[in-house]
Structure 1
Amino acid sequence: MRAGIVILPEHRWSEARPRWQAAESYGFAHAWTYDHLGWRTLVDGPWFDAIPTLTSAALVTSTIRLGTYVASPNFRHPVTLARQLLTLDDVSNGRFTLGIGSGGGGIGGYDSVVLGNPEPTPKVRQARFEEFVELTDALLRNEITNYRGDFYAAVDARSAPGCVQQPRIPFLIAANGPKAMRLAARFGQAWVTTGGEADDYESWWRSIAGLVERFNELGADIDRFLSLDGPVFSLSSVAVFEDMAGRARELGFTDVITHWPRPDGVYAGREDVLERVAADVLPHL
């Protein structure tokens, strides 16, 4: 099993840079950042764009994989995004993974309304997501792409010089529902879930077991990622992280993802717990 960590894009680079370097030296296999214009309770605080952040991280690391967690159609267009991804893939020398999702809505769905558009219904959001993935896949594979759908279009969109990683940058597709899961099985090199809605620890794990059972029915031989931070923050203690990683392994997950501890609010925790997990747990995963 591999472990990854999310570093929220809320710090100026002078403070963020050592965190990305530490994630690599700690032994994490991959490091991620949120791809939002603003996020939930942190919407009024400092926030930086994911693509320049990851490009900067690529320049100060050498082995750790980097990725968006996750890019979405809420404010991205596949044609412009594809050019950014080609650049990131090149700068990182093939260490980039595109984490991609349908885009959040409802409470905390700042990205879905900040551009002044009406918030899409769940049905529209899923249909838009399918087009987004399909067109992004084509743009990263083909030299020239022409496409016209209900939500996106591309006219003679070029992709030279192409991806460092062939046939294209790998996709990590976020999916809980059946349609999104089928999309992950079709286009993804990995599937990621955050689990279902649950207020307590055991109910959350039961929801994950149900999602795994549903995904197993698709017969997709791809990596499986679990975001550990549900009702309980995985770095609240070393024992909690060990328990969560162990349960994830038993359910067949190949990778787990935690979040860098923050001093307060969401993902509040102590960095000494992160350091002890890195020293005592990661080497044995």
Structure 2
Amino acid sequence: MPKIVAESNYRGFGHTLVPRYCADMRFGITILPEYRWSDAASKWRRAEELGFDHAWTYDHLTWGGLQDAPWYGTTPTLTAAALVTSTIKLGTFVTSPNFRHPLTLTREVLALDDISDGRFLCGIGSGGGIDTTILGGDDLSPRQKVDRLAEFVELLDRLLTTDKVDFKGEYFETRNARTLPGCVQQPRVPFVMAANGPRSLRLATRYGAGWVTTGRKSDDLAGWFASVVDLSHRLDDLLEGKPFDRYLSLDSQRYSLSSAAAFEDAVGRAAELGFTDVITHWPRTEGVYAGSEAVLEEVAADVIPRLRG
């Protein structure tokens, strides 16, 4: 849990008390896989230069927010990002069973972990959006999606830690699946589990090194933060005081980099709720996550160092 240091002040979000310094907070940024590498490479390098602790990209075949935009593969993107950076952690935001099999994903995870020299984080969720039906077939019910996620995570965990895995479930099967050479990070790559429901939250605490949430849909910012509060309390009940990394995607209701003040307020609220990590998105020129790179530079140069005290 991030340490809140120094005095607090009232600012924004309807007179909510917002901590001024969050000494142990870690900061992440998501770079959508929509750019040709000639343009994307500089963004990944710059994310590291700006001092972000982790950088992510979406793992979708296509994304509902940008159906008409160019879109590139997640694994090649993160591989290339690993080769142009040296310290920043890199992750999937998030991988799902929609079009992944645990065994084929295992090979990609092993490669990314090795190429990045142990900097890879595997974000995992139950899956949604267009990816659920783009390959054909009927969409699963919410219950079935969690059933599939439980099987997916159990098998992926075994494949990354145990050689020669035989597994037969309702959704996935392996026969004498090999795990060699094993992960750089031991006992395996960390899972950061996306979860909003009770069963998926329990899965997160069982298999995850951390939990990530985008909150629940809401008509306004206050309602969205209320949903994050509720989810945080549900996780508290499951953890019973056990330390656990918590990642909050800040941009689900309002783009946090709309201004430096908006970003600082959002981070303060996240710290109050015990989040150890926050994630924003690289500014785009238009549409979703539209913003200015000047604000990103200001946040990295002034706001983040000040929040870290």
TM surpasses 0.5 = yes
| Residue matched to 1:225 | 247
Once the two structures are TM-superposed, the CA of residue 184 in structure 1 deviates from its matched residue by 0.2
| Residue matched to 1:133 | 153
Q: Is 1:103 aligned with 2:123? A: no
Q: Is 1:118 aligned with 2:138? A: yes
Counterparts of residues 46-65 of structure 1 (less than 5 Å) = 46-65=70-89
Q: Which of 270, 275, 287 pairs up with 1:253?
A: 275
| Residue matched to 1:93 | 117
Once the two structures are TM-superposed, the CA of residue 117 in structure 1 deviates from its matched residue by 1.5
| Residue matched to 2:194 | 174
CA distance in 2 between partners of 1:63 and 1:84 (Å): 20
Using the aligned pairs only, state the percent identity: 58
CA distance in 2 between partners of 1:44 and 1:241 (Å): 28
**Is there any run of 5+ residues in structure 2 with no aligned partner, and where?**
1-24
Cα-to-partner distance string for 1:70-121 (whole Å, 9 max, x where unaligned)? 00000000000000100000000000000000001xxxx2111111121111
Q: Contact 1:90/1:163 (CA < 8 Å) preserved in 2?
A: yes
CA distance in 1 between partners of 2:246 and 2:93 (Å): 14
Q: Is 1:15 aligned with 2:35? A: no
Q: Kindly provide the amino acid, as one letter, of the partner of residue 254 in structure 2.
A: V
CA distance in 1 between partners of 2:43 and 2:150 (Å): 34
CA distance in 2 between partners of 1:233 and 1:199 (Å): 15
CA distance in 1 between partners of 2:73 and 2:233 (Å): 35
Q: Which has the higher contact order (CA 8 A, sep 6+)?
A: 2
Cα-to-partner distance string for 1:230-273 (whole Å, 9 max, x where unaligned)? 22100000000000001100110000000001111111111110
Q: Kindly provide the amino acid, as one letter, of the partner of residue 107 in structure 2.
A: R
| Residue matched to 1:266 | 288
Q: Contact 1:28/1:282 (CA < 8 Å) preserved in 2?
A: no
TM normalised by structure 2 equals 0.90
CA distance in 1 between partners of 2:257 and 2:148 (Å): 35
| Residue matched to 2:3 | none
CA distance in 2 between partners of 1:4 and 1:239 (Å): 17
CA distance in 1 between partners of 2:144 and 2:228 (Å): 25
CA distance in 1 between partners of 2:36 and 2:102 (Å): 28
CA distance in 2 between partners of 1:163 and 1:41 (Å): 34
CA distance in 1 between partners of 2:126 and 2:211 (Å): 13
Q: Kindly provide the amino acid, as one letter, of the partner of residue 211 in structure 1.
A: L
Indicate the structure (1 or 2) with the bigger Cα radius of gyration. 2
Partner of 1:103, secondary structure, is coil
CA distance in 1 between partners of 2:163 and 2:65 (Å): 41
| Residue matched to 2:64 | 40
Deviates more, 1:109-118 or 1:167-176: 109-118
CA distance in 1 between partners of 2:82 and 2:96 (Å): 21
CA distance in 2 between partners of 1:141 and 1:79 (Å): 12
Once the two structures are TM-superposed, the CA of residue 41 in structure 1 deviates from its matched residue by 3.1
Q: Contact 1:27/1:283 (CA < 8 Å) preserved in 2?
A: no
Cα-to-partner distance string for 1:197-225 (whole Å, 9 max, x where unaligned)? 11211111111111101100011421000
Q: Kindly provide the amino acid, as one letter, of the partner of residue 133 in structure 1.
A: V
Q: Indicate the RMSD between aligned Cα atoms, in angstroms.
A: 0.8
Q: Is 1:207 aligned with 2:207? A: no
TM normalised by structure 1 equals 0.97
CA distance in 1 between partners of 2:303 and 2:162 (Å): 42
Q: Kindly provide the amino acid, as one letter, of the partner of residue 258 in structure 1.
A: T
